[in-house]
Amino acid sequence: MMNLIANIVMTVSALFCLVVFLGGDITKHREMGHSNTKYSQWLRKSGELLSPKRLLLLVVFFGSLTTMAQESWIVVMILAVALLILGIALLKGRQWKLMERDKRTNRMLSIVLLLVMLVGIITIACAYVQTNALFASHIMAIWALMFLLVTPFLTMLVAWMLKLGRGVNGPEQHTPQD
């Protein structure tokens, strides 16, 4: 029972961090004029993908894959607390300013969260049918962490999707940088 609760806490803390990281990534993408080319160049030049906060996410991800995390709820709770501290530190430290909201950023955030939920629900359903609730909850935590690791790429994917659906989604928002 404690393992199930620990996996749920881990998933919630990973989703909290996912929203915080997505807010920063979408804001930076907006500052780059919603251009995937400029954003990917910034990612390479800034070293953002190898920053300490991203490396901590990688450690938590690999830590949750170990058998020790699968068998000990205390290890999962320690990893979940590390994620919560990281998310709160990013919010309080104002390392990334809060996401400026417009129609395009709202659509980008909504689409990413919808993709994460859709993949998560399908994965959990398949895992639950094959085994049990404990394994499904562990898989859910792993998926949330995996999406957290790739937020810059999810941001570029959604921007590309919005560019394809320009006629459906209305005119693009242009910034002075274009």
Nearest 10 degrees: Cα torsion 31, 36, 42, 43? 120
Q: State whether the Cα torsion 143-146-147-153 is positive or negative.
A: negative
pLDDT at 140: 75
Given a cut of 60, is residue 129 above it in pLDDT?
A: yes
Q: Which own/partner pairs from 12-16 qualify as long-range (CB within 8 Å, at least 24 positions apart)?
A: 12/80, 13/80, 13/81, 13/83, 13/84, 13/87, 14/80, 14/83, 14/141, 14/144, 14/145, 14/147, 14/148, 15/116, 15/144, 16/83, 16/84, 16/87
Start-to-end CA span in the chain (Å)? 54
pLDDT confidence tier of residue 167, bands split at 50, 70 and 90: very low
Contact of 105 with 30, CB cutoff 8 Å: yes
Tens of pLDDT, residue by residue over 11-54, are: 888 888 888 888 888 888 888 888 889 999 998 898 888 888 88
Tens of pLDDT, residue by residue over 59-101, are: 888 887 776 667 778 888 888 898 899 888 888 766 455 556 6
Q: What residue ranges do the domains of the chain occupy? A: 2-169
pLDDT at 75: 83
Which pTM does this prediction carry?
Answer: 0.77
Question: Rounded to an integer, what distance in angstroms lies between the CA atom of residue 1 and that of residue 6?
Answer: 9
Mean pLDDT of the chain: 79
